[in-house]
Chain A
């Protein structure tokens, strides 16, 4: 009964459906990508000659790669913390047992129903420097809006805002579900102890939803590091490559320039980065998560 083997079999039995699908549609393709990264390839993707580490070396020494890393880091830093924080604020607002709160909950999570392509199109319209509503409304209060998608400094911000809006729905739903899992007794007990407002928020609410916060941290970071559509629709990696994040660079090399070996090397590097980041998050942050 306590053989190491039996529990493993049981565990694998539960994991089997997922593992089979992952093997077929994720791990094996990943293997192929890893393999291709060591080759030069023709336009059709067929390997022509062994390149060893050439693709990797060329990447790591190229300025375009460095720019890509910077863009990726900035994009992630601008998007993830703010997106989660906003989600939490909204979720707290929505946790109140008010009448018709369901309507507000639906509205604030509605961005999840919008695909990245669609959302990017709408925000592209909003960010248009002269014809977009955003700058027009800013001008009404006397602020001259920047040329959002044209200036290097603001383009990444614009894409960030779009991504925050797109992920707001997910963040709100997950955090709301988390908040609603918190038993009322805990709040009552804290209130009896004299906790109010901000103190209640930081001492009780945040720790109680920390599993959800952690979840969103991991998932949103991974998602942002893979965010492609917004950039494709709004900036195409520009201006001057300031939004040319790694995943977009891979797209260009794989599907526009048809350099599959090179693109595969980038994909492997991106994968390693994301993996490392996630491991760090688990090691460092999960410690502070409070599971009941």
Chain B
């Protein structure tokens, strides 16, 4: 079945999707791993320390392979540098690329899919979080190994809830509930200026993708680009328009705050109690708790979804994953796989979670000490865990795969801006955005046969 689909579409790229066992793409089992490999990543600050901790742990645990981790700027800069390195044949063995770089990595034919190693070694992935794995699969084959995974939740100010007469233990869960709560939470000062808004989401493409997912609606066609290369996006579906209308009503009504595309600004507004609720990544949880430092109690709730709570609705995983590069010799690929296996061990996963706040990929990690400590220190995180566990696994919640994902994300942001500024109706804005990106998709598919 898979073979037919691939053939009909003129091949699924150099990687191909022919055989159901990809072992042949990995180096032979007896290939001796290289003595030294390089790993490019985008983790800075405390996350950088956490990365170094993992690498030091690995290097100390055995004497065959030495991994060198190099920080290469943020995700965008790292990808630009990687692209340049590929062009001049100086790519590293292992590289961390953000979620929306999936299609680019795969379509470029530059990677050895993780599935190849998994098939070759009959590596057991039963204990892996399905949601996390599913995001990085194409035609059900795992392309890269998830590394730092997060999802999106609702953050809210429990003190503000109490003040407004809302139950601090029952955060709103649907669009209407959020709007109603926001209306109650908005308050004005003596001069008539709003001193606190009820809800303050930033205009971030990823948040829109999540809203589509909780609506059970796909972002693009062809199974969200996972069954085959997408040919168009579906932002003019009813579900999408409902989202836009809800958002617009809130801003127009004066109870939603609009921080624009400034994600840090939105986070800051929440910390400074300028907004009482907002939506963002789970990875920000610890940062919030540390910055707020007890000034108010932070609550976490499920990500908002349509009022009819579609059964297909759930959340998508975000973050970044690790890719093994095909241009490196077999021994380096082997070494990279050895390192990846180490990273997946429960103890390392638990420590990684504790150091950074990202989800562990393997469920066994939750039984380890550092993970338990984390859970007791940040009980709010439980919401996030359950949210992902409870999300049904389907194409909508797997997330979209598009070669032009970075442009698409930007275009959805422009679409939302246009709607919120009142420059066009929801229908017109959605149609315009869809047309723009469909043209880009065409161009991409032609340029990358």
Are A and B associated in one complex?
Answer: yes
Point out residues on A near B: beta carbons under 8 Å. 40-46, 48, 124, 128-131, 139, 144, 147, 149-152, 235-241, 252, 255-259
Q: Check: B269 CB closer than 8 A to any chain A CB.
A: yes
Q: CB-defined interface of B305-337 with A at 8 Å, one 1/0 digit per residue?
A: 000000000000000000000000000000000
Q: In the bound complex, do residue A149 and residue B108 qualify as a contact, i.e. CB atoms below 8 Å apart?
A: no
Give, as a whole number of angstroms, the nearest-CB distance from B82 to chain A.
Answer: 10
* The one of A43, A150, A252, A257 that contacts B260, using a Cβ cutoff of 8 Å: A150
Q: Which 8 pairs from chain A and chain B are nearest by CB?
A: A150-B260, A255-B80, A256-B406, A239-B417, A44-B87, A240-B417, A43-B108, A45-B87
New A-B contacts (14) at CB < 8 Å, excluding given A44-B110, A128-B262, A130-B257: A43-B104, A45-B87, A48-B447, A128-B265, A130-B269, A147-B260, A149-B262, A152-B421, A238-B413, A239-B261, A240-B414, A240-B421, A256-B407, A259-B443
Q: In the bound complex, do residue A43 and residue B83 qualify as a contact, i.e. CB atoms below 8 Å apart?
A: yes
* The one of A40, A144, A152, A255 that contacts B447, using a Cβ cutoff of 8 Å: A40
Size category, B interface: 35 or more
* The one of A44, A144, A237 that contacts B108, using a Cβ cutoff of 8 Å: A44
**A4→B193 CA distance, assembly (Å):** 76
A-chain residues with CB within 8 Å of residue B107 when the two chains form the complex: 43
Q: In the bound complex, do residue B259 and residue A129 qualify as a contact, i.e. CB atoms below 8 Å apart?
A: yes
Residue of B nearest to A139 (CB): B193
A-chain residues with CB within 8 Å of residue B193 when the two chains form the complex: 139, 144
B-chain residues with CB within 8 Å of residue A235 when the two chains form the complex: 261
Give, as a whole number of angstroms, the nearest-CB distance from A40 to chain B.
Answer: 5
Q: In the bound complex, do residue B83 and residue A45 qualify as a contact, i.e. CB atoms below 8 Å apart?
A: yes
* The one of A48, A241, A256 that contacts B414, using a Cβ cutoff of 8 Å: A241
A-chain residues with CB within 8 Å of residue B110 when the two chains form the complex: 44
Give, as a whole number of angstroms, the nearest-CB distance from A16 to chain B.
Answer: 29
Q: In the bound complex, do residue B76 and residue A131 qualify as a contact, i.e. CB atoms below 8 Å apart?
A: no
Q: Check: B423 CB closer than 8 A to any chain A CB.
A: yes
Chain B interface SS verdict (over half):
helix
A-chain residues with CB within 8 Å of residue B447 when the two chains form the complex: 40-43, 48, 259
**A238→B417 CA distance, assembly (Å):** 9
Give, as a whole number of angstroms, the nearest-CB distance from A67 to chain B.
Answer: 11
**In residues 229-272 of chain B, which contact A (Cβ within 8 Å)?**
257-262, 265, 268-269, 272
Name the residue in A46, A139, A240 with the highest tally of chain B Cβ atoms < 10 Å from its Cβ.
A240
A-chain residues with CB within 8 Å of residue B262 when the two chains form the complex: 124, 128, 149
* The one of B258, B423, B443, B446 that contacts A150, using a Cβ cutoff of 8 Å: B258
B-chain residues with CB within 8 Å of residue A124 when the two chains form the complex: 262
A-chain residues with CB within 8 Å of residue B274 when the two chains form the complex: 130-131
Q: In the bound complex, do residue B258 and residue A147 qualify as a contact, i.e. CB atoms below 8 Å apart?
A: yes
Give, as a whole number of angstroms, the nearest-CB distance from B295 to chain A.
Answer: 15
**A256→B446 CA distance, assembly (Å):** 18
B-chain residues with CB within 8 Å of residue A48 when the two chains form the complex: 447
A-chain residues with CB within 8 Å of residue B440 when the two chains form the complex: 257
